[in-house]
């Protein structure tokens, strides 16, 4: 996803479906252990929040190291992590929802979001950019990668989703975010997230969408396709 002098970011489904750990006291999964080896980063430098498909974003640091991976944590109902610390592995799990990677190289601030359909229409992106600004980031300097997620061809949704979106997006924006095909309604999450990002002052030219759909590409885990308790993992590290 990213491998520059500044940052390393990726997206993996692991071998077993990266998340099968249910209790805080459970040992880390083999997939986490394998990733830790591959990245040459100890698990005590990984952070995983307890996600809820909401709007909460937290600034994290060394004190959170190992949270949600080898120990319990207070990052509850958190769907976004921001840090200005190097050598810390921010991670989120997703199976169709969108991993959004944020990087401000100048300010040396990075972030990672777990963005489902509710969060894409909600305050998650706004809150993330605000937290980054608190650490010195400037929206026009922020680079974005929208990671693999369920694509607009696969993501059929109900009318209630468009009703929710109609509360925050203008009619001409809704035209770009939803597609109607053969009487069915489909949601384009990439497009919705792009609109939210640009409304926060992030430049279109700084937004890049990775190819790949977690639903129709069977190398990934997909909630829509029927996977339960198995997820893909997105991660980002600011290099030391």
Question: Looking at beta carbons, which residue is closest to Zn ion?
Answer: 213
- SS3 readout for 98-126: EEEEEEECCCCEEEEEEECHHHHHCCHHH
Nearer to Zn ion, 12 or 188 (CB): 188
Per CB under 5 A, does 95 bind Zn ion?
no
Nearer to Zn ion, 59 or 213 (CB): 213
Residues in the chain: 240
Considering only 39, 52, 209, 213, the residue that binds Zn ion (CB under 5 A) is: 213
Positive or negative torsion for Cα 229, 76, 56, 209: negative
CB of 230 to Zn ion, least distance (A): 18
Considering only 43, 124, 215, 237, the residue that binds Zn ion (CB under 5 A) is: 215
Instruction: Report which of 184, 82, 71, 181 is spatially closest to residue 124, judged by C-alpha positions.
Output: 82
Which region, judged by CB under 5 A, interacts with Zn ion, from 64-72, 100-108, 193-201, 206-214?
206-214
Partners of residue 146 on adjacent β-strands: 100, 209
Nearer to Zn ion, 64 or 194 (CB): 194
In the chain, what is the straight-line distance between the N-terminal and C-terminal CA atoms, in Å? 18
Instruction: Report which of 208, 214, 206 is spatially closest to residue 231, judged by C-alpha positions.
Output: 214
**Binding mask of the shown chain, residues 143 to 182, with x at each position contacting Zn ion by CB under 5 A:** --------x-xx----------------------------
Interaction site with Zn ion (CB under 5 A) = 151, 153-154, 213, 215-216
């Amino acid at each position: 996803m990213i491998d520059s002098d500044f940052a390393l970011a990726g997206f993996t489904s692991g071998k077993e479906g990266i998340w099968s750990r249910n209790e805080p006291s459970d040992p880390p999964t083999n997939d986490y252990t394998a990733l830790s080896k591959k990245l040459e980063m100890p698990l005590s430098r990984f952070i995983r929040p307890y996600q809820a498909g909401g709007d909460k974003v937290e600034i994290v640091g060394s004190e959170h190291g190992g949270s949600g991976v080898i120990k319990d944590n207070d990052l509850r109902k958190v769907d976004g992590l921001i840090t200005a610390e190097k050598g810390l592995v921010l991670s989120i799990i997703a199976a169709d929802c969108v991993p959004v990677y944020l990087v401000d190289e100048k300010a040396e601030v990075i972030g990672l979001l777990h963005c489902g359909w509710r969060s894409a229409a909600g305050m998650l992106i706004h809150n993330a950019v605000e937290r980054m600004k608190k650490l010195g980031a400037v929206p026009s300097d922020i680079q974005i990668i929208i990671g693999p997620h369920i694509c607009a061809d696969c993501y059929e949704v109900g009318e209630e989703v468009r009703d929710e979106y109609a509360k925050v997006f203008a009619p001409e924006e809704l035209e770009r975010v939803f597609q109607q095909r053969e009487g069915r309604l489909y949601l384009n999450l990439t497009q919705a997230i792009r609109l939210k990002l640009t409304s926060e002052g992030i430049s279109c030219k700084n937004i890049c969408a990775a190819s790949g759909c977690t639903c129709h590409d069977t190398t990934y885990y997909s909630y829509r396709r029927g996977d339960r308790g198995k997820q893909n993992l997105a991660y980002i590290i600011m290099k030391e």
